[in-house]
Each structure stands twice: as C-alpha cells, then as structure tokens.
Amino acid sequence: MPASITSITEHREATKSATPPLLSIVIPFFNEDEALIDCHARVVAVLDTLHQPCEIIYVDDGSNDGSWSQVIGFTANNHRVRCIQLSRNFGKEAAMTAGMANSAGRAVILLDADLQDPPELIPKMVDEWKRGYDVVNMQRKQRHGESWLKRATAHLFYNVINRLADINIPRNVGDFRLLDRKVVDVINSLPERNRFMKGLLSWPGFNTCMLQFDRDARQAGTTKWNYAKLIHLAFEGITSFSITPLRIATAAGVVTSIISVMMAIVLVSKTLFWGDPVAGYPSLMTVVLLLGGIQLLSIGLMGEYVGRLFIESKQRPNFILMNEQTAEPNTDFNLK
Ligand code: UDP
Ligand code: MG
C-alpha cells in the first residue's frame, strides 16, 4: 500500500476523535464500469454545492470488469473517496451493509451506481434531515425503463408484504434514502444474515418523511436482477419479516380437518343407516390430491423458515473485505 493510503479501519479510528463528515454516500456496485465515471462526476458536483465535509464510499461487490481500478483512480486526488472491495459477489444487500458499517458520516445516503437515483436530489434530502427527520425515504413516482411485468410484480409484492409483515414497508421506496447516524447504528447492530434491506431499513422507525422523485432509466449496462433473484428476494422479505404464512398453513389445516370430520360423520351415517355403497373414485382422488397438495405446501413453507434458521445459526459473516483503500486520513474533509 502506498504511504498516502491507509486502511478504512485505521481511517475510522482516526475520524472517531475528529469531527465526522456530514454525509457518507454509500455506492454499492457490481460490474458498472460504463456508469461509474459519470456517477462519480455527478456525485462530486453535487457534494461541492453543499460546502460541507462529505465522504463517498464505493463498495465493489466482486466486479470482474475493471470497475475496481476505476474507483481506485477516484481516490487519487480526493480525500473524500474510500473504496472497499468484497472478496466475491455477495449481493447488493451485503454490499450496502459493508458500506454502512464502514461509514463515518452523521448521515448516510445509499445510492445506486447506475444513476437511476439522481444524485442531484441529495441537497433536498439533506434539507429534510436538517429539518429534523431521521429517515428521508425517496419514493419513485414513475418507473421509467421498466417493463409492465416488473411494475405489476412490484405492485403485487408490496401488497402481499404489507399485508403479512409486522412493519410498514413503504411502497416504491428503494434503497435510495437518507439515514441519520442513529438509524445507521441500529442497522449496523442487527446481526441477522438474511438481510432484506427494504425491511431492515424501515424496521428501526424514527422520524420518517417521504420525498417523491422520478426514477430515471439505467444510464448504461444492464440490470443485475433477474426474475429468479427477485422471487428469491420476495421470499426472503416475507419470511424474514412475518410468520403469517405459517399461521395461514395452520388455519388451512384446521379448516380441512373440520371439513374431514364433518364428511366422515355424513359418510358413516349414510353407510350405517342407508347402507350406501362406497362413493366414487373421482371424488376420492380429488380429496386425496387436495390434501396432499396442502400438506406439501405447508411442509415446503416450514422448510423455508427452517432453512433460514439454518443459515442464521451458522453465523457466517455477511461479507468479507478483500481490499480497502482510502486517501490519507488527515481528517481534512475540506472539499478541494
Ligand atoms: N449491485 C450490487 N451487487 C449485486 C447486484 C447489484 O452491488 O449483486 C448494485 C448495482 O451495481 C447497482 C445497484 O446495486 O449499483 C442496483 O442494481 P441494479 O441497477 O442492477 O438493480 P435495479 O436498479 O434494476 O433494481
Ligand atoms: Mg438500477
């Protein structure tokens, strides 16, 4: 490591005693070499207008396209840029966790590298924060550049999760939001391995406000999400914030048991008093298949929860840092 470069951990220690920066902008990325230069230029331009000490934390989530060397380049003449490299692709949730754990700012803003969340809105978010809000959620007015299927499934997802979960997960609010230090500290202290960020970020509560914005289309590159990942995320969200599906399974079991007892009484009485012949094969098959289906579904559902317990019980870390780089911690966060 060059003499002027120090590790993030040392930097954190050094900044503890010094005045912390006003803002930490956490930018997780995975193979974003086409978008990063623009992203950096726009973020720096916006931070310059704040005339306050700020830091930008780039988290490389296992990119293999040269994005890391790009962000390292950003640190060269800029005391405000810190770079963290994870040892492989852990997923955006883990990358954000790593960024927040290494942030020092009095507030943290989570931003996508693909510029779908316009950095120009940062000053507005800071204004709300200074007005006393601890969490500034950014709600998408429209979802430009997204297919009707994605919009429809997103709509369904919010309906289901808000009906099932114990906390309120605001509709169409992504990870782009401002969090006060006290909220970040709460989130950093949450030990769980299943990190469904939309839920975790809303879980602490505090004074929350909502700003609306038009979400832009992706600047360059392609989305890192596919439907399989999104379905996995939806399951993760529901199972880590609610046990209602288990209760529904129990209720289904109770209802089918009651119906079976009533049917048994009817069938036995008919046979005893009227000597009815055995009911037909089709009705028998329907009942057997229906019950089999309900049972398999309930076992699968239980498996989802048991699987999550299994993952939690192993207590593996959420991410592994491979590399960290930052400018010398002279703690002079001045802009130029
Ligand atoms: N991302 C990440 N790790 C991943 C997938 C995505 O750090 O495994 C980053 C990605 O580079 C981008 C942000 O998370 O900065 C949002 O991802 P993307 O644009 O693919 O998601 P979308 O906006 O389509 O929901
Ligand atoms: Mg995106």
Q: For residue 176, give both structure tokens.
A: 């782009």
User: What does the pLDDT average to over 263-270?
Assistant: 82
Q: Which atom of ligand 1 is nearest to the CA of 114?
A: 15
The set of residues, in sequence order, having a beta carbon less than 8 Å from that of 76 and lying 6+ positions away, is: none
Report the nearest-CA residue for atom 24 of ligand 1: 223
The set of residues, in sequence order, having a beta carbon less than 8 Å from that of 69 and lying 6+ positions away, is: none
Please state, rounded to an integer, the average pLDDT across all residues of the chain: 83
Give me the pLDDT at residue 334, please.
Answer: 41
Q: List the beta bridge partners of residue 56.
A: 25, 81
- 23-147+167-218+318-331, what's its fold? Spore Coat Polysaccharide Biosynthesis Protein SpsA; Chain A (3.90.550)
Residue that the structure tokens 């396209």 belong to: 65
The helix/strand count (H/E) of the chain reads as 11, 9
- For ligand 2, an ion, list residues with CB under 5 A: 112, 114, 116
Is 53 in contact with 336 (CB distance < 8 Å)?
Answer: no
Each residue's pLDDT tens digit, 192-207 = 888 888 888 888 889 9
- How many angstroms separate the CA atoms of 108 and 95, rounded? 14
Cβ–ligand 1 contact at 112 (below 6 Å): yes
**Could you report the predicted ipTM of this complex, rounded to two decimals?**
0.94
Is 249 in contact with 298 (CB distance < 8 Å)?
Answer: yes
Each residue's pLDDT tens digit, 216-252 = 777 677 777 778 888 888 888 888 888 888 888 888 8
Residue from 25, 26, 27, 30 whose mutation best tests the ligand 1 pocket (most atoms within 8 A of CB): 30
pLDDT at 330 over 50: no
Is 35 in contact with 223 (CB distance < 8 Å)?
Answer: no
Is 199 in contact with 234 (CB distance < 8 Å)?
Answer: no
Residue that the structure tokens 């076992």 belong to: 299
Question: How much distance in Å is there from the Cα of 115 to the middle of ligand 1?
Answer: 11
How far separated are the first and last CA of the chain, in Å rounded? 24
Q: For residue 164, give both structure tokens.
A: 């099932």
Residue that the structure tokens 């120009």 belong to: 120
